[in-house]
Every structure is written in structure tokens, then in C-alpha cells.
Chain A
């Protein structure tokens, strides 16, 4: 039982990071109809900012939580402006190709700048593992696990609330449901797109800060995050923020459970099998957004 609880805690911790990354993917897709395969690269750069701030500059850890979203959000906005805006009229297929290779360009740039296998980042919170008694047994939980899980989830829900209730969120949602209508109502498409990319990028940056200590900073982080974020987003229906959060948590727990009770090879396969089953069984995800009749 204690072992099972420890496995679940570990799964939820990874799941919370997946969820945060997935929300960014969903926000950008919802507002701009762009499927951002470069999101993993943005998360990796967020983790890199953490490394620079915490290890290189030795600034207090909290500055990473402020700087990473700002910098990565701005970068995402710039990428939208320079690369994706000129091809906005192209079909989805072309845009997806562009974001796939944009992701490669981001992680390659990082690799060339650093040229090391992996950069290690210390945990944000320190302290000895806590032993929680459970009947005759006891399970262990670390301060980092608590911090990452709660921090990432709170950030995710804050993003969700912002998208749902704040002014910027309203304009993005208006744009998502009907571009022409939103334009007629005075929303500038350029502004909303820039905003959505900033918002999505900022979430990616935060996901990077949370992921850095437990995953390390390396180009492989970009690949592992993007597949996990997409699987989580697809499970959630790709357009649902709450779906992305639940999808991320579900993925983290299922992965860790299969690692613990089947095999470590199964862990890598299970996320893809989960994706496959969801796509075939419920192509709109487990939490489909209600769609208008305009199809």
C-alpha cells in the first residue's frame, strides 16, 4: 500500500508538469487554430532560463518563476510574428510542418549554445524526505514532489481562470469560436494571436521551471515533453483546458503505474497506446468541447 501511494505521488508529480505543458498547447490551438509542435522546445528553453538564473547567475529561485514565463512568452510571441504570421493563410498541414521544424530549430540552437549532454538544475525546495506513517508501514514524500505538484497544478488552474474570466481570455475565446465575428466585434486578430502565443509561451516557460530539476535541461526534454503534452491534450479533447489538466495527470499516473507494475519499457509504450485508444474510441477526447453547428 505504501509503495502504491509512493508510485501515485510520483505519477501525479510528472502528470502535473505534463498538464501545464498541455494547457499551453491547448491555449494556442484554441485561440489561433495552430497546432504548436514547437511547444516542447519552448518548455526546454524555460528550463534553460531556470538553469541560467539559478546555477549561472545564482539569483534566488523565485526569479526563475518570474523571468522564465516573461522571456519564453515574449519569444513565443516573436516566433508567431516572424514565422507564423506570414504563413497564417496557409493550410493547417503547412503550419504543422513549420512548427515541427521550428521545434527542432529551438532545441538545436540550445544544443549548439551549450554543447553538453544535460544541464542539471537543483530543486527549488530542499529538505530531507518526509516519512508519513501509514498503519504499520510508512511512505515517503519529498518537499520537491509537493511543491512541483501543487505549484504546477495551481499555475494550470490560474491559466484556466484567466482564459475563462479575464478580458484577454474572452477575446481569445471569441476568436476561437468565430474569427470573422470576433473581428467585426473589434477584436484585432493580430493582437489576439500575439496574446495567445504570449500566454501559451508563458505557460510553457513555467512548465520548464517546474520540469528542470526532475528532468534536467537537454534537447531530449523538448521531445519527451512535446509527446507527453500532445497525448495529454488529445486525451482532453485538444480544445479543453480542464481536459488537458486531467489528461496530463491521467497520463502521468498511468505511465508510472505501468512502470511500477509492468515494466519500464511498457512505460514508454503506454502513453502512446493510451493516445491510440482515445483517438480510436473517442476522437474528440474524453472532454470534448461543445461545438457549434458551423461545421
Chain B
């Protein structure tokens, strides 16, 4: 009798463990597919090419930020300053292409990415070289970059941006929106870097265990610095796209964007303690957020529900992550 009970319990335990493993590995992908199928039935236009392009375009800004955030979080850090840095790069880029004359959009591209990288480098130096906690450094930068944005733009939008520049946000290449193409390039480059390069392995190693990474000869400080540098540059890229999309450089752009980027990373199952995660799942995380907001808009559901659903998914994603850590 008692043996029987134990066996049953053991089998059930093994089964639930197997389910747990399956869920932690494919849970996010599965939730995304289920969501996708439901929305396809819920609204006839959801699956139309035009709508899917819309979703991808809407996702591209948060997606680019989330890819940078994946690097930062993989090293065990966090970057709260990106929404403000995005706004700053937007107004700087905008100010260079305003006034109605034709401009080469490359000027704005280099300015936005350059300013973003500069702020990323400041964050990275303070965090990697002076060992100030990333939360504190980037919280301070969140405030300083917003202040600099308002100062630079006098708190007013910069209108009248050149059409060549706006093409970066509004144009198409072979029917695909330009922001989506930029996003795809960033994603593929990030995926290859993390999966196939030595640098990618360093990122994981530093986040997994800094001490053992150091003893095995990895330049940990440089690796951590580089993650913030990259994040800043990508915030600049996203700022450029946002500005081109909204047709004016808006000083109040990007409020709270850091939280959406972190949400995408966390929903994708990247561990906030570092060392574990993947940009592929970050992409799915960003797509989930984008598809929910698009789908609920199509169905005419109040935006209040969107916030509740997004929050619930974040908590569930971390819950799955926890269960993986508890039952290895």
C-alpha cells in the first residue's frame, strides 16, 4: 500500500518535473503561438500582411532597445537611462536635419548613434571602472539625459525634418518598412555575436560568475563597459527611428521605454541575475508585447486591460524562470 503510494507520487513528481522543464524551455514560444492563433481567429484582419508589417514596425523600436538590454542584463547589469538617452539622441539628430533643406540621413544616423554611444560609455565607465552599481548610475543618467534633452530643445518639439531623414522611419524597401529592416539587421548581428563569437561567450561568462570569468583571463571590466556602450548606441538608433516616425523630434519621447525593454527581456526568460538568456527569446518577448497591444486595439479592448495583461505576463515569465532554478 505504502509502496504503491510512493511510486505514484514519484511518477507524478517526475511527470510534473518533465512538464516543468518543457514549459521553462518552450513556454514563452508556446504562449506566443497560442496568442497568435487566438488573435487570428478573433479578428479577420489580424493576419493580413499590412497588419503584420504594422506590428513589426511598432515592435522595432522596443525590439532594438530590448536587444541592447539583453546584453546588459546578461552581464548581470541593468540600464534605466535608455528612454531619456533615446529622447536626447532624437532631438540631436532632429536638430541636424531640420529647416526644410535636403540632408543626407547619414548625418543624423551618426549623430544619434554617436551621442547614444557617448552616454553609454559614461554609464559603462562608471559601472565597470569605478564599480558604482548599475542601477544607481543609470538612474542618475535617466535624470541627466532628460534634463539635457529639454535644455537642448528648449522643451519644444523640433519640426520640419527633411524627407530623406523621415524615410528612415516611414520608408519601405521592397515592401518592408525600413525600421523593420534595421531591427532585423540588429537582431541577426546580435544573435551571431552572442552565439558564435568569443565576445559573446565572454558576455555570458561575466554574467554567470564574474570571479571565475576573471580568473580565466576574460577582461571583465571591458566586457561590462562594452555592454553599456552597445546599449547606448542602440538607444541612439531607436531614437533616430522614433524621431523619423513621429516626423518631429519630441523632447518628451521615450518616457518609460526602459521598462518596456526590460519587460521584453524578462518575458523572454533572460535571468535578471545574468548569464542565462538569448536574444531569440527577447525577440519573442518583444513580439508578445507588440502583438497584445495590436490585437487588443483591433478588438477594441480598453488599454487598461493591456497594462494588466502585460504585467501579468512579466510575473508569470519570472515565475517560470524561478521554477527552472529551483528544479534544475
Q: Do A and B bind each other?
A: no
Which residues of B line the A interface, CB within 8 A? none
